[in-house]
Amino acid sequence: MKKIIIANWKMQLDVAESSKQAKEIKALITKAKIDKSTEIVIAPSFLAFDAVAKAIKRSRLKLAAQDAFIEDKGAFTGEISLSDLKKLGCEYVIVGHSERRALGETDKIVNQKVKAVLKIGLTPIICVGETYDDRRENKQDFVVMHQVYQALHNIDPGSDQNIIIAYEPVWVIGTGQTINPKEAHHMSMVIHQAIIDISERHHIDNIDIIYGGSVAPDNVHEFTKLRSIKGALVGNASLAADKFVKLIKNS
């Protein structure tokens, strides 16, 4: 797969701000002549989804959802339908972000969501990563492998299905500190091994690993230059259009 840079706007921008920001990114990307081989994805809030979809129409920018529900339709008060998202132009879905896991999303739910996302023909971006305590106790390899096994339980992607796994050490998200790129490389090798362990159909080339956690314009290349890392999931540094476009250029 080509390199991918994903902006996760979380709950940081309102509808008007999201639409304005999307238009600015669209204009700056065109001016900056970013290499066509880089996939650029925006994950707006659900309320801003339609406005952002309209703002980026006829551009190379793609849309991701920050989450979604496992069912398409029915009596599920407050949930978000994958087929509705697809109709609005969504192509990727973030699943199991650490901020959602902190609110109670379990490995089992993550697995159900990954299955639902693949079934409807979208690409899941599965977030995995250890907490500070896990790392202090030197359990990060085990924790991340376990998360990958659970997320991909009974899932073997077909040749036409893609999966992205975002390695995000929970303890650096939003802190302005990244981990040593060598450590990110090590963890992506751990993830890669976990994928090989459970993959039967051997379409492991359809599963890509990216890095997330305080990625910024001045450190992004340290990660994307690694053979094992295909891109970045970006929170804070995606909240200003010029900064985000600089980050993409530097990647």
Active site residues: 97, 168
Distance CA 66, CA 63 (A): 10
CB 9 within 8 A of CB 45: yes
Min. distance of Cβ 126 from ligand PGA in angstroms? Answer: 12
Q: What track of x and - describes contact with ligand PGA for positions 1 through 40 (by CB under 6 A)?
A: -------x--------------------------------
Size of the site for ligand PGA (CB under 6 A): 13
Q: What track of x and - describes contact with ligand PGA for positions 139 through 178 (by CB under 6 A)?
A: -----------------------------x----xx----
* Residue closer to ligand PGA, measured from CB, 71 or 183: 183
Interacting residue with ligand PGA among 48, 209, 215, 220 (CB under 6 A): 215
Distance CA 114, CA 118 (A): 6
Query: By CB under 6 A, is residue 235 in contact with ligand PGA?
Result: yes
Interacting residue with ligand PGA among 68, 236, 246, 248 (CB under 6 A): 236
Please calculate the CA angle 105-235-16 and round it to the nearest 5 degrees. Answer: 100
CB 166 within 8 A of CB 126: yes
> What tokens were used for 101?
């896991």
CB 218 within 8 A of CB 250: yes
In the DSSP assignment, the letter for residue 205 is: G
Residues that bind ligand PGA (CB under 6 A): 8, 168, 173-174, 212-215, 233-237
